[in-house]
Every structure is written in C-alpha cells, then in structure tokens.
Structure 1
C-alpha cells in the first residue's frame, strides 16, 4: 500500500516537472530561488523522487508497524479480558451452584427438624388424649343413666332380690352415684320395692362398711321429723334399734336437721334437703 502511494506521488511530480523540465528551490542562505534544469527528466526525476520519498516511506512503514503492534496488544487485551470474563463467569456459576446446594441442604435440614418436632408434639398430644379418653371411659362406666336406673327398677318387679344383694343376713342396695334429697332417696327405694335402710346392730353396720366408699356420705332411713330427738326408721316406723352417732351429733343445727346420713358408719343429722347417695333395704322389719 505504501509503495503504491509513493509511485503515485512520484508520477505527479514528473508530470509537474515536464511542464518546465526544471526544478527550483530556495536556499536558506540567500532566500533566493534556484533552478535545476533537467537534462534527462525520466531518469533524473525517478532517483530524485525516491530520495525525497524514501524517508516518508520509512515513516509510514514505522507507523504501520506501530499500528500492527497496537492492534496486537489490543487483541491480547481483548483475549485476556475474554479469558477473565469466562473465568469470572465460571467462578460465579460455581459459587451460585454451591450457594443453591447449601440453601437446599439447610431447607432440608430445617424441614427434617420441624418434622421431628411436629411428630414429637403430635405423639405427646395423642398420648394425653388417649389418657383423657381412658379416664373418661372409666368415668362413663360408673355413670348410671336414667335408663339404667329404670332398668334396675323394672328388674325388681321380676326378681325381688334385684338389684339388691345379700349383705350379712339381709338384702341391701347401695347407690353410689345418684345423689338425692332424703325424701327423693326414700321414694327411689320404694320404686325399687325397698326402703331407706336402717342398720339393725353394730354387726350389720360392720357388714355394710366394706361396701361403702370412704369419701362419700349415704342417706339412711332414720329421721326425727315427727318428734325432735326421737329417731325412727322410715321402713318400719319403729324407734331406731341401733345408733352410732359421730362426735357432737345429733346437734340439730339451725333447728332444721331432721334426717340422718352416714359418713363411713358414723351417723350425722342433716337438713333433709341436702343431696347424697343412699342405701336401700329390701325388707321393712327394721
């Protein structure tokens, strides 16, 4: 490319010289114009042009070399930047994969821990529910419904000994769960074919005690409703054949305690409107 430019420039110079076949210049000493007549313009002009253009050609060659060097350095920089970009991208991808894996592992560990805790809580709750259900089922076994009670009453019409059981020498029915006033308890015993019970003697009382709950009180058939301090049996209307009063009893508190209950064998007078379980006897001898 540089050679073509030089030839063109030389050609232009030859054309310019052919008009006068001379070359003129100014000398720096006298600032006068000198003229060099050309005897053989083609031969003399070629050598002259080459001597003039040779430094320019070398400068252009130098510039072209520098451009090539710059271009080479630029390509090297671009290659290095591309390599760094690829390396950085690879590192970022690897870090991203590692981060995703770590987050996944942490989520799985957290979920596993939550599952274990949830299972533990559910097992604890289930155990408590099972325990409460067991207690409730046991409680339901001891509950006497109206239908059960009526069934007991109806059975007594078929068998006079049911639901009475023989304790000692007589038949008794002990109601542990239903709580009634004294009058209601007496009516319940009558519907069953019996009466509120009155212990005949100490031996009979001792026979009854193993069948009674120590934590409960039970109505018996003794009362002094008609005459204060004259306790009679509601079954026979006769005076009580046996009394086993608790300490300071009877006290007729507030002058309104005419009915008797037993606290595990100890007799206590109380208001007839109080509610307690009760004991029935089948006969009316006592």
Structure 2
C-alpha cells in the first residue's frame, strides 16, 4: 500500500485542500489555484525523490512519508496545508481521499478514451466506422465495445454536420428501428419514440416485412433489412 507514493501524495495534497479550503477540488485548475499554480509542474521532482527511496523498509518509508509530503507541499507552494502526522488515525481519511482520486482518474480515463476514439461534431461526439462493415445487431455491439451506442441525431443541423463526415454513396447504420412494431420507429438504447427523422423520398418503404433498421444515406434516412452489412456511426452519449 505504502509503495503507491504517487497516489498517497496526491491524496494527501488533495485531501488537505478539501479540508482547509472549505470545499472539494473539482479540477486540476482548482488545485493549481489553491497551490499557486505550481502543483503539477513541481510534483514530478517530489515523486522522483520518493521513487529513489523505494527500496527502503516499509516501516521506514511510513515514518518518513509525512516529512516528505510536508516538504512536497512547501515545494509546490502549498505551505498552508496541514499534513497528518499519525497515519493510523488518518487511515479512514486517506482511504476516502484515495477513493475520491480513483474516481477522478476513472473520469479522466473515460475522457481520454473519448477524445482518442470519437470525433466532436457540433456539441456531441461520434465515431465514424468508415472501414467497418456490420449487420445492425453487430453494429450496436461494436459501438458498445467503444463505450457508446449506434447514433441518432438531435436535429437537421447535427444531421448535416455528421453527413459531411461520411463517405459518399455509402450506407451507415443508425439506432433507429421499428422492430417492436412496424411503423413505430424508436431508439435502440432507450426504446423511446424517435424525435427527429429525415426520410428519403418514398421512405419509410415497408414493402419487405424484414425491413426494420434505418440507415443514413446521402443525408437522409432509409429502411433496410437488418441483416445487411453496413458502415457504422456510433455516438458517445445517451442524450437521445
């Protein structure tokens, strides 16, 4: 446990800020404000010094850690923070602080994954599987693996912006379908009625009873058979 010096230092610095400033630190900008803007630029030096002593006995490390952290808070411009001296009495506090940091780290990892995988279009994030061919069910599973769902669109402005990103003459699956009841188009992820549709002329064409899943093609929507393989558009949120 005590070998996780990086986590402990961040937990102690963040936890002390929470306690001494009257409210939680909600972002890196908050931490920089509380610590005179030096926290993240100086913390690397502190961690390097601690890592150099990783071969020490855990008891020795535990006894020396409060002093190291106190020096760390001074070096990053947080001299006013109170460092707990008795780690036995502070165990619960440290556990809560680490849990809070782990939650923040998880949120940051989600954001990082989002920005590495999805592309922002207007106010939302989409993934364009230009080289991915799936049937409709497989397409939803593919999007789920990427942390999202098959896409739907809020309005015409968003639809036009998304269409500009697509390959011409290529059909892309959306989440819209009428599998439950013919003619009643709903969202796949919520099962709610679709609020925005832009049909191609003559659509929805229900001449074939197997045509239940909606594709986007040339900026408008058509009903296709769900077992056909099409390209994929994923959305990162559940806003629709």
How does the TM-score come out when normalised to structure 2?
0.52
CA–CA distance in 1 between the matches of 2:229 and 2:118?
A: 22
Counting only pairs closer than 5 Å after superposition, residues 158-177 of structure 1 correspond to structure 2 as 159-177=113-131
Matched residue SS, 1:258: strand
Q: Pick from 157, 165, 185: which aligns with 1:231?
A: 185
Structure 1 residue 200, shift from structure 2 partner: 0.9
Aligned residues: 132
- Write the deviation string for residues 29-77 of structure 1: whole angstroms up to 9, x where unpaired: xxxxxxxxxxxxxxxxxxxxxxxxxxxxxxxxxxxxxxxxxxxxxxxxx
Q: Pick from 131, 134, 146: which aligns with 1:180?
A: 134
Which stretches in structure 2 are left out of the alignment for 5+ residues?
Answer: 1-108
Question: 1:232·1:240 contact (CA, 8 Å) conserved in 2?
Answer: yes
Structure 1 partner of 2:172: 218
Q: Pick from 245, 254, 258: which aligns with 2:212?
A: 258
How does the TM-score come out when normalised to structure 1?
0.44
Counting only pairs closer than 5 Å after superposition, residues 60-139 of structure 1 correspond to structure 2 as none
**Higher Cα radius of gyration:** 1
Question: 1:213·1:264 contact (CA, 8 Å) conserved in 2?
Answer: no
Runs of 4+ in structure 1 off by over 6 angstroms are none
Question: 1:232·1:239 contact (CA, 8 Å) conserved in 2?
Answer: yes
Which stretches in structure 1 are left out of the alignment for 5+ residues?
Answer: 1-154
Structure 1 partner of 2:202: 248
Question: 1:156·1:192 contact (CA, 8 Å) conserved in 2?
Answer: no
Report the RMSD for the aligned CA atoms in angstroms.
1.6
CA–CA distance in 2 between the matches of 1:157 and 1:193?
A: 11
Greater relative contact order (CA < 8 Å, ≥ 6 in sequence): 2
- Write the deviation string for residues 82-106 of structure 1: whole angstroms up to 9, x where unpaired: xxxxxxxxxxxxxxxxxxxxxxxxx
CA–CA distance in 1 between the matches of 2:121 and 2:209?
A: 35
> Which structure carries more helix by proportion?
1
Structure 1 residue 236, shift from structure 2 partner: 2.5
Aligned pair in 2 of structure 1 residues 232, 267: CA closer, same or farther (>3 Å)?
same
Structure 1 residue 162, shift from structure 2 partner: 3.0
Structure 1 residue 158, shift from structure 2 partner: 5.7
Matched residue SS, 1:211: coil
